[in-house]
Amino acid sequence: MERFTASDGARIAYSDEGAGRPLVLLHGLMAHKGFFERQRDLADSFRLIRIDLRGHGESPSDRGIPTIDTLARDVAELAAHLGLEGAIGIGWSLGASVLWKLLEGPASARFAGAVVVDMTPRVMNGDDWDLGLPPETCAARSRAIAEDFTAFATAAGAAIFAPDGEPAPSPLALWAGAEFASNDSAAIGAIWASLVEQDFRAVLGRIRQPTLVVHGAHSHLYDADTAHHLVAALPHATDVCFEHSGHAPHLDEPDRFNRILRDFAASLPPVRLPQTQTA
């Protein structure tokens, strides 16, 4: 694990392994870079960069209240520090919102493609939007984070997987719940509040990077209509449904997920890499 010092002094943990086109993996709320452990096989062909977003994992939130803007700025600064070019950003849930924020700013020039994993451009539904979560659900989550974070996080971690028909949670679901619950509730509450305020619908049409929209057929958060909206709104997008996955296809079906990532990367123009790397 390596650490990068952001412009405000925050210490951001990340791992950087392999060589080739950079893949920047951005995890979901309450997760960390370890939730992409099953993507490490991709380091045989790519430069794999897994980041603990601020307020998660080994990246503490000790420099003010974390927001989506803060998280995106951290990633943009790290991308510049690493000299990334022609990267593919892979954003899962919260990570997709961070990725969209990156792609509407100067850091967009460092990215050649995007992968959005089970996310909506607007979390909270309203009069003109019903492809997110009802306002009462968002409010209930805010209360649960503040009042009983351990119970909320443990249940949320288990819920990201497709149901397996077993009465007891799987070892992976138990692990995810425990990892979710290990976070600081104040940081997660602040990031959740910022996430609920985001509305990327107007941004989507300006994103020029080819985008792969990944959706889990058994997601408990967003359905196929949300994925179809993204494909219609993004100028260069295709979608793929993971029939045996929930909110985390990269964990439920990692082999297929990795194979599709390889195919998507191969569809992009070649990237010029530093002389220390090979294409």
Tens digit of pLDDT for each residue in 39-81?
A: 999 999 999 999 999 999 999 988 889 999 999 999 999 999 9
**Which two three-digit tokens encode residue 171?**
């070892």
* pLDDT over 60 (residue 276): no
CA distances from 99 to 76, 134, 181, 193, 270 (A): 10, 24, 24, 18, 21
Q: Delimit the domains of the chain by residue range.
A: 2-123+199-266
Three-class DSSP category at 244: coil
- Rounded to two decimals, the pTM is 0.95
Query: How much is the pLDDT for 213?
Result: 98
Cα 149 from Cα 185, distance rounded (Å): 6
pLDDT value of residue 63? 84
Q: Does domain 2-123+199-266 have CATH number 3.50.50.60?
A: no
Closest CA to 91 of 115, 56, 127, 62: 115
Query: What's the distance, CA 139 to chain centroid?
Result: 22
Handedness of CA 97, 102, 104, 105 (dihedral sign): positive
Taking only the tens place, the pLDDT of each residue in 177-197 is 999 999 999 999 999 999 999
pLDDT in the model for residue 272:
75
**pLDDT for 279:** 45
